[in-house]
């Protein structure tokens, strides 16, 4: 009988140990499944962020290209304006020189024939 009294607690202890081990294994499996689930969620989030990042980079590249094109066009327009101003300055200088020669011819400072010969030489050199 003594053994009978000891067998019952030993069986209870063994069952408790088995139950504990099964709980541990189930918990470990549950943790592994949870870790895999979180890893998949994390992977999905990372992929989503990468796609968004690449989309933003592509958008920025396109915007940058458009901005550069606008700047290039603005510079070309400014260059054309400067060329027009330069051409007008050249024409104004010519007109002023002609007016100066006409004035000097009228006032008698320059001989008209000499002025025309100089003008012909200047035109022939161009």
User: For the segment 20-64, what is each residue's pLDDT rounded down to a tens digit?
Assistant: 888 888 888 888 888 889 999 999 999 999 999 999 999 999 999
Band (pLDDT 50/70/90 cuts) for residue 102 is confident
* Structural contact between residues 87 and 77, judged by C-beta atoms closer than 8 angstroms: no
Could you tell me the pTM of the whole model?
0.49
pLDDT higher than 80, residue 74:
yes
Share of the chain above pLDDT 90, in %: 44
Counting the structural domains of the chain, the total is 1
Locate 2 and state its tokens.
Answer: 């003594």
* Structural contact between residues 101 and 110, judged by C-beta atoms closer than 8 angstroms: yes
Count of C-beta atoms within a 10 Å radius of residue 60: 10
Helix axes 112-125, 2-107, angle to 10 degrees: 150
Q: Report the helix count and the strand count for the chain, using DSSP H and E.
A: 2, 0
pLDDT in the model for residue 59: 97
Residues with Cβ < 8 Å from 104, sequence gap 6 or more? 110, 115
Which domain, by its residues, includes 117? 2-125
């Amino acid at each position: 009988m003594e053994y009978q009294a000891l067998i019952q607690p030993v069986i209870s202890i063994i069952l408790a140990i088995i139950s504990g081990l099964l709980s541990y294994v189930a918990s470990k499996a549950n943790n592994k499944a949870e870790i895999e689930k979180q890893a998949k969620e994390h992977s999905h989030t990372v992929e989503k962020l990468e796609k968004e990042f690449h989309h933003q980079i592509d958008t920025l590249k396109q915007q940058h290209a458009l901005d550069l094109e606008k700047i290039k066009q603005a510079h070309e327009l400014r260059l054309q304006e400067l060329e027009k101003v330069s051409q007008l300055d050249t024409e104004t200088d010519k007109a002023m020189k002609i007016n100066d020669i006409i004035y000097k011819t009228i006032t008698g400072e320059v001989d008209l024939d000499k002025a025309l010969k100089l003008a012909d030489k200047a035109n022939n050199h161009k």
